[in-house]
Amino acid sequence: MMSDVDVRQDEHFAWRFDPCLISLFCALNVDGDEMRVVGGAVRNSVLGLAVGDIDCATTALPEQTMERGAQAGFRVIATGLDHGTLTLVKEGRAFEVTSLRADVQTDGRHAVVAFGRDWQMDAARRDFTMNALYLDAEGQIHDPLGSGLCDVKARSVRFIGQAHARIEEDYLRILRFFRFFAQYGHSYGKDDYEACIALQRGLQSLSAERIGGEMIKLVQGDDAVPALTAMLHGGLLPHVSLAVPMVRRFAFYLQRAKALGVEPSLVGRLMALFGHSRESLDALMLAWRQPNRLRDALRQSMQFSDALDAKTLGNADLTLLKRWSYLYGKDVVLDCLCLHEGGRDVGAFSGLVQALQSWERPVFALTGKDLIKAGVKPGPQLGQYLSDCERRWIESEFRLGKSDLLHAVGISI
């Protein structure tokens, strides 16, 4: 079914005119084969949201896609050849191209597929109706199932076909259901939700990486609070290592951040949801197989948060906030201003927050080389002098210059 949506003048579909994408259309739309953009790029553009990756589907077999792509100057990477998926790269732009297919056999984690030329059959094997939209080279939206476009506009997250069958094909779809609701949805089907709850034990068969990847995306969704609440009520959160989640605190953090004009960060969201202790956050990062840099950022935030109390925070002025921001990072301080319920009310904090957001962290100009040049010998004493100078510089509200600092610690120049 073709849509009557006219995307030709829609700025949200401006990515259609990417020269590399046009080149890919020209390369693959030959000899009776057709390529269409599918899924997220079409869905997000209809919703007026930013578009990230551009995924494509084609009636051509993988071998034909590889040959035609290479002839058109694309570097071809066999990212998922068994499932008909290739990545074609040109001028730094990457496009995932998958041959039309139908699932022949599934076990909840993997699928055996057969390639075909039927767009409706390809759409029917996808997870949610809002992901079964296609855009052709002429800018026409195709909705093979007849319900995808309506569900996108209504922001309704619905499984294609029978929810139980879709989930049993891949249990990750349980988490994707709630993640899509957090990112794009305003509603979901009751039967779909009940199927997720009934089959939640299937999550135990998933790898930590797959669970962690979905949950990190979920907690960053605009509607993460109702999504997490629905998962909590259904008993799902222990299956994703959130045995003792603080959903109410998570909601408070987001509300306060919005009121203060602070962009909620991933670190702040995780601190709000699971920041019981450093040990709990470390365990979560391990369970979700997240990178060490995220774990270290959470530790830094936890260290600062533990050092705060309501009285200190309530009496904080801009000078103290700048000092904290220099030592711990401005994002850490802003997150904690949104996290601590014992601090001042929004009206009392808003001016300070605005001033802090526009503040640029200064650079401590004094170096070890400066001290050596002034006669200090390399060794532990040099490090002590440097730390002492930096402390004095911070206490001066970052005003003291090199000569003033050296004189303050008894070094003549």
Please state, in angstroms and rounded to a whole number, the distance separating the CA atoms of residues 281 and 290. Answer: 11
Cα–Cα distances (Å) from 299 to 30, 218, 276, 293, 345, in that order, read: 55, 21, 12, 10, 26
Work out the burial of residue 294: count CB atoms within 10 Å of its CB; fewer than 13 is exposed, 13-18 middle, 19 or more buried. Answer: middle
Per-residue pLDDT in tens (0 to 9) along the chain, 413 residues:
555 566 766 889 999 999 999 999 999 999 999 999 999 999 999 999 999 999 999 999 999 999 999 999 999 999 888 889 999 999 999 999 999 987 555 554 455 567 889 999 999 999 999 999 999 999 999 999 999 999 999 999 999 999 999 999 999 999 999 999 999 999 998 999 999 999 999 999 999 999 999 999 999 999 999 999 999 999 999 989 887 889 999 999 999 999 999 999 999 999 999 887 888 888 899 999 999 999 999 999 998 888 887 677 777 889 999 999 999 999 999 998 898 866 667 877 888 899 999 999 999 988 888 888 888 888 888 889 899 999 999 999 999 988 888 888 777 66
Kindly compute the dihedral angle of the four CA atoms of residues 51, 132, 92, 73, in this order, to the nearest 10 degrees.
-150
CB 193 within 8 A of CB 234: yes
Q: What fold, for 172-240?
A: Hydrophobic Seed Protein (1.10.110)
Phi-psi region of 309 (alpha: psi -120 to 50; beta: other; left: phi over 0): beta
**DSSP track, 132-158:** --EE-TTS-EE-TTS-HHHHHHHTEE-
The residue ranges of every structural domain in the chain are 1-154, 172-240, 260-357, 368-408
CATH class of 1-154: alpha beta
CB 335 within 8 A of CB 271: yes
Look up the pTM and report it.
0.85
Cα–Cα distances (Å) from 156 to 24, 56, 181, 183, 276, in that order, read: 32, 23, 8, 11, 34
- Give me the residue label for tokens 């440097």: 386
The answer to whether the Cα torsion of 372, 378, 381, 386 is positive or negative is positive
